[in-house]
Amino acid sequence: MHIVITCGPAFAPIDSVRRITNTSTGRLGAILSDFFLSRGHAVTCFRGEAATFRGLPEGVKVHEFGTNDDLEKALAKLAASATKVDAVLHAAALCDFGVEAVRDAAGHPVEGGKLPSRAEGYTLRLKPLPKVIHRLRTFFPDACLIGWKYEVEGNRDRIAALGRRQLDEARTNLCVLNGPGWDQSGGFGLVGADGTVEEARDFVALAAGLMWRIEGGA
Protein backbone atom coordinates (compact mmCIF):
# COMPACT_ATOMS: atom_id res chain seq x y z
CA MET A 1 0.00 0.00 0.00
CA HIS A 2 0.96 3.63 -0.43
CA ILE A 3 0.85 5.57 2.86
CA VAL A 4 1.03 9.38 2.92
CA ILE A 5 2.11 11.01 6.19
CA THR A 6 2.16 14.72 7.02
CA CYS A 7 4.21 15.92 9.97
CA GLY A 8 6.05 18.83 11.52
CA PRO A 9 5.07 22.49 11.83
CA ALA A 10 3.66 24.89 9.29
CA PHE A 11 4.22 28.64 9.58
CA ALA A 12 2.21 31.79 8.88
CA PRO A 13 4.29 34.80 7.73
CA ILE A 14 4.22 38.10 9.62
CA ASP A 15 6.54 39.85 7.18
CA SER A 16 9.23 38.66 4.78
CA VAL A 17 11.51 37.40 7.57
CA ARG A 18 9.29 36.76 10.61
CA ARG A 19 6.68 34.08 11.11
CA ILE A 20 4.22 32.45 13.50
CA THR A 21 4.79 28.75 14.04
CA ASN A 22 4.62 26.08 16.76
CA THR A 23 6.78 23.59 18.62
CA SER A 24 6.05 20.46 16.58
CA THR A 25 9.26 18.55 15.85
CA GLY A 26 8.11 16.07 13.20
CA ARG A 27 9.26 13.14 15.35
CA LEU A 28 5.94 11.30 15.33
CA GLY A 29 5.74 11.44 11.54
CA ALA A 30 9.26 10.05 11.25
CA ILE A 31 8.44 7.18 13.62
CA LEU A 32 5.29 6.32 11.69
CA SER A 33 7.13 6.57 8.37
CA ASP A 34 9.80 4.17 9.60
CA PHE A 35 7.18 1.74 10.94
CA PHE A 36 5.13 1.54 7.74
CA LEU A 37 8.22 1.37 5.53
CA SER A 38 9.60 -1.52 7.61
CA ARG A 39 6.31 -3.38 7.04
CA GLY A 40 6.77 -3.21 3.28
CA HIS A 41 4.54 -0.24 2.46
CA ALA A 42 5.51 2.68 0.21
CA VAL A 43 5.66 5.88 2.25
CA THR A 44 5.52 9.51 1.16
CA CYS A 45 6.13 12.07 3.91
CA PHE A 46 5.25 15.75 3.69
CA ARG A 47 7.35 17.38 6.41
CA GLY A 48 7.31 20.97 7.65
CA GLU A 49 10.57 22.63 6.67
CA ALA A 50 11.10 23.81 10.28
CA ALA A 51 10.86 20.29 11.73
CA THR A 52 13.80 19.74 14.06
CA PHE A 53 13.62 15.93 13.95
CA ARG A 54 15.25 14.95 10.66
CA GLY A 55 15.60 11.19 11.09
CA LEU A 56 13.45 9.95 8.23
CA PRO A 57 14.67 6.57 6.97
CA GLU A 58 16.08 6.02 3.51
CA GLY A 59 13.34 4.82 1.22
CA VAL A 60 10.74 7.38 2.32
CA LYS A 61 9.85 9.96 -0.33
CA VAL A 62 10.16 13.33 1.44
CA HIS A 63 8.58 16.61 0.37
CA GLU A 64 8.96 19.71 2.53
CA PHE A 65 6.34 22.43 2.96
CA GLY A 66 6.20 25.85 4.60
CA THR A 67 2.68 27.20 4.97
CA ASN A 68 -0.70 25.49 5.17
CA ASP A 69 -1.29 26.54 1.59
CA ASP A 70 2.00 24.97 0.49
CA LEU A 71 0.94 21.63 1.94
CA GLU A 72 -2.56 21.81 0.46
CA LYS A 73 -1.15 22.51 -3.00
CA ALA A 74 1.33 19.63 -2.69
CA LEU A 75 -1.43 17.22 -1.65
CA ALA A 76 -3.66 18.44 -4.48
CA LYS A 77 -0.82 17.82 -6.92
CA LEU A 78 -0.36 14.29 -5.59
CA ALA A 79 -4.10 13.65 -5.84
CA ALA A 80 -4.12 14.82 -9.46
CA SER A 81 -1.31 12.47 -10.39
CA ALA A 82 -1.66 8.82 -11.29
CA THR A 83 -0.25 7.77 -7.92
CA LYS A 84 -2.64 5.66 -5.85
CA VAL A 85 -2.96 6.68 -2.19
CA ASP A 86 -4.33 4.09 0.22
CA ALA A 87 -4.10 6.08 3.45
CA VAL A 88 -3.30 9.60 4.65
CA LEU A 89 -2.03 10.12 8.21
CA HIS A 90 -2.44 13.86 8.73
CA ALA A 91 -0.27 14.50 11.78
CA ALA A 92 1.19 17.86 10.68
CA ALA A 93 0.78 20.75 13.13
CA LEU A 94 -0.70 23.36 10.82
CA CYS A 95 -1.49 26.98 11.65
CA ASP A 96 -4.97 27.70 12.94
CA PHE A 97 -4.48 31.44 12.38
CA GLY A 98 -2.71 33.71 9.91
CA VAL A 99 -1.88 37.42 10.02
CA GLU A 100 -4.69 39.58 8.66
CA ALA A 101 -3.23 43.00 9.53
CA VAL A 102 -0.29 44.63 11.31
CA ARG A 103 -0.64 47.99 13.06
CA ASP A 104 1.96 50.18 14.77
CA ALA A 105 1.71 51.55 18.31
CA ALA A 106 -0.46 54.42 17.07
CA GLY A 107 -2.88 52.03 15.39
CA HIS A 108 -1.79 52.75 11.81
CA PRO A 109 -1.57 49.90 9.28
CA VAL A 110 2.00 48.83 8.55
CA GLU A 111 3.12 47.27 5.29
CA GLY A 112 6.48 46.37 3.86
CA GLY A 113 8.92 43.55 3.42
CA LYS A 114 10.38 43.76 6.95
CA LEU A 115 8.86 45.49 9.96
CA PRO A 116 11.31 48.05 11.43
CA SER A 117 12.81 46.66 14.64
CA ARG A 118 13.08 50.06 16.36
CA ALA A 119 9.34 50.66 16.47
CA GLU A 120 7.59 50.98 19.83
CA GLY A 121 5.61 47.86 19.10
CA TYR A 122 3.05 46.28 16.81
CA THR A 123 -0.39 44.78 17.08
CA LEU A 124 -1.20 41.75 14.97
CA ARG A 125 -4.74 40.89 13.97
CA LEU A 126 -5.10 37.18 13.30
CA LYS A 127 -7.66 35.45 11.13
CA PRO A 128 -8.71 31.79 11.09
CA LEU A 129 -7.20 29.78 8.25
CA PRO A 130 -9.03 27.10 6.25
CA LYS A 131 -8.38 23.60 7.57
CA VAL A 132 -6.47 21.38 5.16
CA ILE A 133 -8.00 18.27 6.75
CA HIS A 134 -11.39 19.32 5.37
CA ARG A 135 -9.97 18.99 1.84
CA LEU A 136 -8.52 15.51 2.21
CA ARG A 137 -11.70 13.58 1.38
CA THR A 138 -12.05 15.59 -1.84
CA PHE A 139 -8.43 14.89 -2.76
CA PHE A 140 -8.43 11.20 -1.78
CA PRO A 141 -12.04 9.96 -1.89
CA ASP A 142 -11.19 6.27 -1.48
CA ALA A 143 -8.33 6.50 1.02
CA CYS A 144 -8.35 5.78 4.73
CA LEU A 145 -8.01 9.23 6.29
CA ILE A 146 -6.63 9.69 9.78
CA GLY A 147 -6.54 13.03 11.59
CA TRP A 148 -5.05 14.20 14.89
CA LYS A 149 -6.47 16.12 17.81
CA TYR A 150 -3.71 17.46 20.06
CA GLU A 151 -4.85 19.19 23.24
CA VAL A 152 -2.78 20.60 26.11
CA GLU A 153 -5.65 20.84 28.63
CA GLY A 154 -9.17 19.65 29.26
CA ASN A 155 -10.48 16.22 30.11
CA ARG A 156 -10.72 13.03 28.10
CA ASP A 157 -14.47 13.24 27.52
CA ARG A 158 -14.11 16.71 26.01
CA ILE A 159 -11.12 15.74 23.86
CA ALA A 160 -12.86 12.59 22.63
CA ALA A 161 -15.88 14.73 21.69
CA LEU A 162 -13.58 17.01 19.69
CA GLY A 163 -12.19 13.95 17.91
CA ARG A 164 -15.69 12.75 17.02
CA ARG A 165 -16.54 16.19 15.69
CA GLN A 166 -13.45 16.10 13.49
CA LEU A 167 -14.62 12.77 12.05
CA ASP A 168 -17.98 14.30 11.15
CA GLU A 169 -16.68 17.59 9.77
CA ALA A 170 -13.68 16.24 7.83
CA ARG A 171 -15.23 12.89 6.82
CA THR A 172 -12.19 11.05 8.13
CA ASN A 173 -12.06 7.42 9.25
CA LEU A 174 -10.13 7.79 12.47
CA CYS A 175 -8.87 10.48 14.85
CA VAL A 176 -5.79 10.13 17.04
CA LEU A 177 -6.11 11.89 20.41
CA ASN A 178 -2.94 13.05 22.14
CA GLY A 179 -1.18 15.83 23.99
CA PRO A 180 -0.90 16.56 27.75
CA GLY A 181 -4.64 17.12 27.96
CA TRP A 182 -5.19 13.53 26.88
CA ASP A 183 -2.29 11.75 28.59
CA GLN A 184 0.56 13.36 30.52
CA SER A 185 2.69 10.25 29.98
CA GLY A 186 2.52 10.45 26.19
CA GLY A 187 -0.15 7.87 25.41
CA PHE A 188 -2.72 8.09 22.65
CA GLY A 189 -6.39 7.44 22.05
CA LEU A 190 -7.97 6.31 18.78
CA VAL A 191 -11.59 7.17 18.09
CA GLY A 192 -13.34 5.69 15.06
CA ALA A 193 -16.65 6.03 13.29
CA ASP A 194 -18.53 4.16 16.02
CA GLY A 195 -17.37 6.74 18.57
CA THR A 196 -15.57 4.35 20.89
CA VAL A 197 -12.04 5.13 22.05
CA GLU A 198 -9.18 2.65 22.11
CA GLU A 199 -5.99 3.23 24.09
CA ALA A 200 -2.46 3.12 22.65
CA ARG A 201 0.11 3.46 25.42
CA ASP A 202 3.08 4.48 23.27
CA PHE A 203 4.35 5.09 19.72
CA VAL A 204 4.71 1.39 18.94
CA ALA A 205 1.16 0.60 20.04
CA LEU A 206 -0.14 3.59 18.08
CA ALA A 207 1.66 2.56 14.89
CA ALA A 208 0.46 -1.03 15.21
CA GLY A 209 -3.12 0.11 15.84
CA LEU A 210 -3.05 2.41 12.84
CA MET A 211 -1.63 -0.29 10.59
CA TRP A 212 -4.30 -2.75 11.72
CA ARG A 213 -7.01 -0.19 10.94
CA ILE A 214 -5.56 0.73 7.54
CA GLU A 215 -4.93 -2.83 6.38
CA GLY A 216 -8.39 -3.79 7.57
CA GLY A 217 -10.05 -0.91 5.74
CA ALA A 218 -10.65 1.13 8.95
Tens digits of residue pLDDT in 30-59: 999 999 999 999 999 999 999 999 889 899
Listed as ranges, residues in the chain with pLDDT below 50 are none
**Cα–Cα distance measured from residue 142 to residue 4, given in angstroms and rounded to the nearest whole number:** 13
81 belongs to a structural domain:
no
Whether residue 201 lies inside any domain: the answer is: yes
CA 216, 146, 139 angle in degrees (round to 5)? 100
Q: How many domains does the chain have?
A: 1
Q: What's the predicted TM-score (pTM) here? A: 0.94
Q: What is the pLDDT of residue 189?
A: 97
Distance CA(82)–CA(32), nearest Å, equals 24
Do the domain assignments include residue 29? no
Pairwise CA distance, residues 98 & 128, whole Å = 6
Domain that holds residue 208: 155-218
* Model pLDDT, residue 21: 96
Residue 210 lies in a domain: yes
User: What whole-number percentage of the chain has pLDDT above 70?
Assistant: 99
Whether 30 maps to a domain, the answer reads no
Residue 88 lies in a domain: no
Residue 161 within any structural domain of the chain: yes
d(CA 183, CA 194): 22
